[in-house]
């Protein structure tokens, strides 16, 4: 199995994209509307922010989950015992944000949400009729009016040699949300677990846009679209001295959206955040 990039502009893009998601849980797009220059500008500004002491002025709020999360409170992936080697900033349009970052992040957030709505339409249009009937409302409608879609600015620092044994940048995990939209990071390392238990490198050519299925879409589609395990492995050689920045947008439905007989989006999110120990 190999992840193949799909040309967003191609006439069969929607079919190929949905097929890739169905078979691997991941899709990779080229020639998409999000400008590489905009992403590069955010990465550069994020590097400055994470290398400054200013970040501590925006320490996260446990109730609202916005702000700066230092490595000391970084996530422990479900089923693991060691914290990931990362720090990050949670951006919501309504949340706190350094003024030098806000216009960049707000603009990107709006554009990526617009694209996400289109991609959710592709996903639904190319699902079988019985899967479509199981959705309580159109997938693209589920994110309308949501205030929980999260833009996370991730910073994986350069290695200093004092990292905790067995810790990696992001241990194997699945995302909680409907879909995640992720521009290729400034350094490689993202891998996806295939159906045979092996690990595939996700194409990281700068300019690619990576999309993966989250647990909520798996729940809503009764498993038709799989929430696939992925990780970010540690760098080797001279790359150990390089930091890595990435920019996932986690698309969350409104809290009242019914995913299945078992869960609304709100109940599902609360359950998972408690498992992660962040609420």
Task: Dump pLDDT digits (tens) for 110-148.
Answer: 999 999 999 999 999 999 999 999 999 999 999 999 999
Q: Which two tokens stand for residue 15?
A: 């079919």
Q: Which two tokens stand for residue 121?
A: 């339409």
Residue 248 has pLDDT above 80, yes or no: yes
The pLDDT score that the predictor gives to residue 228 is 87
Question: For the chain, what is the total number of helices (H) and then of strands (E)?
Answer: 7, 13
The pLDDT score that the predictor gives to residue 211 is 96
Q: For residue 180, how many other CB atoms are within 10 A of its CB? A: 22
The pLDDT score that the predictor gives to residue 139 is 98
Q: Which two tokens stand for residue 51?
A: 């290398």
At residue 278 the predicted structure's pLDDT band, cuts being 50, 70 and 90, is: low
Q: Percent of the chain scored above 90 by pLDDT?
A: 77
Higher pLDDT, residue 94 or 228: 94
At residue 162 the predicted structure's pLDDT band, cuts being 50, 70 and 90, is: confident
The pLDDT score that the predictor gives to residue 34 is 95
End-to-end CA distance of the chain: 38
Whole-angstrom Cα Rg for the chain: 18
Higher pLDDT, residue 154 or 188: 154
Domains and CATH numbers, the chain: 5-276 (2.60.120.330)
Strands 190-193 and 230-232: antiparallel
Q: Among 260, 277, 168, which Cα is nearest to 215's?
A: 260
Task: Report the greatest alpha carbon distance in the chain.
Answer: 53
In angstroms, rounded to a whole number, what is the distance separating the alpha carbons of residues 210 and 228?
13
In angstroms, rounded to a whole number, what is the distance separating the alpha carbons of residues 243 and 232?
13
The pLDDT score that the predictor gives to residue 1 is 58
Q: Element (H or E) spanning 277, and its range? A: none
Residue 59 has pLDDT above 80, yes or no: yes
DSSP string, 206-272: BTBEEEEE-HHHHHHTTTSS----EEEPPP-GGGGGS-EEE--EEE---TT-B-SSS-BHHHHHHHH
Average pLDDT value for residue range 232-248: 91
In angstroms, rounded to a whole number, what is the distance separating the alpha carbons of residues 244 and 249?
17
Work out the mean pLDDT of the chain and round it to a whole number. 92
The pLDDT score that the predictor gives to residue 150 is 97
List b or e across 22-54, with b for residues whose CB sees 16 or more CB atoms inside 10 angstroms.
bebbbbbbbebebeeeebeebbebbeebbeeee
**Cα atoms in the Cβ-side hemisphere of radius 13 Å centred on 116:** 31
Q: Among 101, 108, 245, which Cα is nearest to 184's?
A: 245
Strands (E), the chain: 5-7, 26-30, 67-69, 87-91, 150-156, 170-173, 179-183, 190-193, 199-201, 209-213, 230-232, 244-246, 249-251
Q: Which two tokens stand for residue 237?
A: 């050689």
- Four-residue CA torsion sign, 71, 69, 34, 103: negative
Q: Kindly report the pTM of this predicted structure.
A: 0.93
């Amino acid at each position: 199995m190999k992840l193949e990039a799909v040309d967003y502009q191609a006439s069969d893009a929607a079919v190929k994209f949905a097929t890739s998601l169905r078979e691997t849980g991941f899709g990779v797009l080229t020639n998409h509307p999000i400008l590489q220059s905009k992403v590069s500008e955010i990465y550069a500004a994020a590097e400055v922010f994470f290398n400054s002491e200013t970040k501590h002025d925006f320490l996260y709020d446990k109730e609202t989950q916005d702000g700066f999360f230092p490595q000391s409170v970084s996530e422990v992936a479900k089923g693991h015992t060691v914290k990931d080697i990362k720090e990050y900033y949670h951006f919501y349009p309504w949340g706190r944000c350094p003024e030098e970052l806000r216009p960049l992040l707000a603009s990107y957030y709006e554009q990526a949400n617009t694209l996400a709505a289109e991609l959710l339409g592709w996903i639904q249009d190319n699902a079988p009729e019985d899967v479509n009937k199981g959705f309580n409302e159109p997938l693209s409608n589920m994110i309308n009016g949501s205030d929980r879609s999260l833009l996370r600015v991730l910073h994986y620092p350069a290695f200093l040699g004092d990292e905790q044994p067995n810790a990696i940048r992001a241990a194997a995990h699945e995302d909680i949300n409907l879909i995640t939209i992720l521009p290729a990071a400034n350094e490689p390392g993202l891998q996806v677990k295939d159906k045979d238990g092996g690990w595939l490198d996700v194409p990281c050519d700068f300019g690619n846009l990576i999309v993966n299925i989250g647990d909520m879409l798996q729940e809503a589609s009764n498993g038709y679209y799989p929430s696939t395990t992925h990780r970010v492995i540690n760098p080797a050689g001279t790359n150990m001295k390089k930091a890595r920045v990435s920019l996932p947008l986690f698309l969350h439905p409104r809290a009242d959206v019914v995913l299945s007989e078992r869960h609304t989006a709100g109940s599902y999110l609360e359950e998972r955040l408690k498992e992660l120990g962040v609420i």
